[in-house]
Protein backbone atom coordinates (compact mmCIF):
# COMPACT_ATOMS: atom_id res chain seq x y z
CA UNK A 1 0.00 0.00 0.00
CA UNK A 2 1.07 3.54 -0.75
CA UNK A 3 -0.10 6.75 0.93
CA UNK A 4 -0.29 10.13 -0.76
CA UNK A 5 -1.53 13.55 0.36
CA UNK A 6 -2.99 15.73 -2.38
CA UNK A 7 -3.70 19.43 -1.84
CA UNK A 8 -7.03 20.37 -3.41
CA UNK A 9 -8.17 23.82 -4.48
CA UNK A 10 -11.82 24.77 -4.70
CA UNK A 11 -13.37 23.02 -1.71
CA UNK A 12 -15.65 25.40 0.19
CA UNK A 13 -17.89 23.21 2.35
CA UNK A 14 -18.48 19.74 3.74
CA UNK A 15 -20.49 18.94 0.63
CA UNK A 16 -17.28 19.31 -1.38
CA UNK A 17 -15.44 17.08 1.09
CA UNK A 18 -18.15 14.43 0.86
CA UNK A 19 -18.20 14.56 -2.96
CA UNK A 20 -14.47 13.91 -3.17
CA UNK A 21 -14.66 11.14 -0.57
CA UNK A 22 -17.47 9.41 -2.43
CA UNK A 23 -15.68 9.52 -5.78
CA UNK A 24 -12.38 8.26 -4.38
CA UNK A 25 -13.92 5.48 -2.30
CA UNK A 26 -15.56 4.09 -5.44
CA UNK A 27 -12.26 3.74 -7.29
CA UNK A 28 -10.76 0.28 -7.46
CA UNK A 29 -7.57 0.07 -5.44
CA UNK A 30 -8.41 2.76 -2.89
CA UNK A 31 -8.11 1.38 0.64
CA UNK A 32 -8.69 4.49 2.76
CA UNK A 33 -9.59 8.14 2.16
CA UNK A 34 -9.48 11.11 4.51
CA UNK A 35 -10.53 14.50 3.11
CA UNK A 36 -10.33 17.69 5.17
CA UNK A 37 -11.56 21.20 4.47
CA UNK A 38 -8.87 22.89 6.59
CA UNK A 39 -6.31 22.20 5.32
CA UNK A 40 -7.89 21.49 1.94
CA UNK A 41 -6.40 18.10 1.20
CA UNK A 42 -7.01 14.41 0.72
CA UNK A 43 -4.86 11.70 2.25
CA UNK A 44 -5.32 8.49 0.33
CA UNK A 45 -4.06 4.98 0.94
CA UNK A 46 -4.07 2.96 -2.27
CA UNK A 47 -2.78 -0.20 -3.91
CA UNK A 48 -0.35 0.88 -6.62
CA UNK A 49 -0.94 -2.41 -8.45
CA UNK A 50 -4.55 -1.39 -9.13
CA UNK A 51 -4.45 2.41 -9.45
CA UNK A 52 -1.85 5.13 -9.86
CA UNK A 53 -1.58 8.68 -8.57
CA UNK A 54 -2.47 10.20 -11.95
CA UNK A 55 -5.77 8.28 -12.00
CA UNK A 56 -6.56 9.47 -8.48
CA UNK A 57 -5.80 13.09 -9.39
CA UNK A 58 -7.86 12.78 -12.58
CA UNK A 59 -10.87 11.60 -10.55
CA UNK A 60 -10.58 14.65 -8.28
CA UNK A 61 -10.31 17.03 -11.26
CA UNK A 62 -13.28 15.31 -12.96
CA UNK A 63 -15.30 16.03 -9.80
CA UNK A 64 -14.71 19.76 -10.39
CA UNK A 65 -11.71 20.59 -8.20
CA UNK A 66 -8.11 21.59 -8.86
CA UNK A 67 -4.96 19.82 -7.73
CA UNK A 68 -2.29 22.07 -6.22
CA UNK A 69 0.54 19.53 -6.07
pLDDT at 69 over 80: no
What was the pLDDT predicted at 4?
A: 96
Q: What's the CATH code of the domain at 44?
A: 3.30.70.100
Euclidean distance between CA atoms 1 and 20, whole angstroms: 20
What was the pLDDT predicted at 37?
A: 95
| Neighbour tally for 49: CB within 10 Å | 9
Give the sign of the dihedral formed by CA 37, CA 22, CA 32, CA 8.
negative
State the total domains in the chain: 1
Domain residue limits at 61: 2-67
Tens digit of each residue's pLDDT (9 = 90 or more) over 18-54: 999 999 999 999 999 999 999 999 999 999 999 999 9
Amino acid sequence: MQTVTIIIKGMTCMGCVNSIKAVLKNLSGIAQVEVTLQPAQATIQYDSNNINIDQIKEAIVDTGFEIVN
